[in-house]
């Protein structure tokens, strides 16, 4: 038997049963986001076209991508995310 701890962040909703691009668009409309920075895993970005579909659906709202998220990462704002976000912000 394995043991460990999983710490969950402030996940409010889980959407399923529809294409990811549609779900992302629905969520950004729901919260009124005008810019979207995607945090994805490298495998998802390299081995599928789902990220490209989301980027295409976002159009001008897409402002950047960080594709080095660890698998199943519950901590959204780790140092691996904060550094690219700060660097990206400096370009706008």
Listed by start position, the domains of the chain span: 20-90
Mean pLDDT of 3-17: 78
Report CA torsion sign: 14, 39, 62, 34: positive
Confidence label for 5 from pLDDT (cuts 50, 70 and 90): confident
Length of the chain measured in residues: 92
HSE at residue 59, side-chain half, CA atoms within 13 A, is 6
Confidence label for 12 from pLDDT (cuts 50, 70 and 90): confident
Question: Which pLDDT belongs to residue 88?
Answer: 59
Mean pLDDT of 65-84: 67
Question: Which pLDDT belongs to residue 48?
Answer: 95
Question: Which pLDDT belongs to residue 66?
Answer: 85
Predicted TM-score of the model (pTM):
0.71
Beta-strand ranges (E) seen in 17-91 are: 36-39, 62-66
């Amino acid at each position: 038997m394995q043991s460990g701890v999983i710490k969950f962040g402030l996940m409010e909703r889980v959407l399923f049963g529809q294409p990811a691009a549609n779900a992302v668009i629905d969520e950004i409309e729901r919260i009124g986001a005008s810019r979207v920075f995607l945090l994805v895993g490298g495998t998802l970005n390299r081995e599928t076209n789902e990220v490209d579909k989301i980027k295409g659906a976002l159009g001008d709202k897409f402002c950047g991508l960080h594709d080095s998220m660890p698998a199943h990462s519950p901590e959204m704002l780790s140092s691996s995310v904060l550094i690219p976000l700060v660097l990206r912000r400096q370009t706008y």
